[in-house]
Amino acid sequence: MVHYSSATVDATFAAVADPTRRGILERLGAGERSISDLAAAFDMTLTRMKKQVHVLESGGLVVTEKVGRSRQCWVGPARLEEEALRIENYRAMLEARHDRFGEFLERTHGNIQ
């Protein structure tokens, strides 16, 4: 069984739960951007964009650094392997339950078509 840090997993899932933040990650995947550039691209205020980036930063998905008068952003070191493994574990568990349910139906109701 894999041990998950609940706070880290929660922050990462919260970060990718929002379509705007997923869009920010897509843009940053193409290269470093300033918060001003991101705000203009998403037609939002700097304050709102800073909040969105902060959520991504808290999830370990984005890193920011003050460069001169602007704050630059790039994709952070967090990888989604831990979260992908958690989802895969849930999928496997649900498949096993479906298989057991199918076996139960076979035993109790015969061959159902």
Residue 1 has pLDDT above 50, yes or no: no
Counted domains in the chain: 2
For residue 80, give both structure tokens.
């989604």
Measured distance CA(107)–CA(8) in Å, rounded: 43
Give the C-alpha separation, 27 to 20, whole Å. 11
List, for residues 3-26, the tens digit of each pLDDT value.
556 677 788 888 999 999 999 999
Question: Is the same domain home to 98 and 57?
Answer: no
Convert the pLDDT of each residue in 73-111 to its tens digit.
999 876 677 777 888 888 899 888 988 888 888 888 876
In this structure, are 43 and 88 located in the same domain? no
Q: Which residue in 85, 106, 104 sits closest to 96, CA to CA?
A: 104
Residues of the domain holding 102: 79-113
Confirm if 75 and 15 have CB atoms less than 8 A apart: no
User: Is residue 27 within 8 Å of 69, Cβ to Cβ?
Assistant: no
23 & 34 share domain: yes
5 CB neighbour count, 10 Å cutoff: 10
The whole-number pLDDT of residue 4 equals 52
> Are residues 62 and 109 both part of a single domain?
no
pTM for this predicted structure: 0.70
CATH label of the domain that carries residue 39: 1.10.10.10
Interatomic CA distance for residues 6 and 9, integer angstroms: 5
Residues 73 and 90 in one domain: no
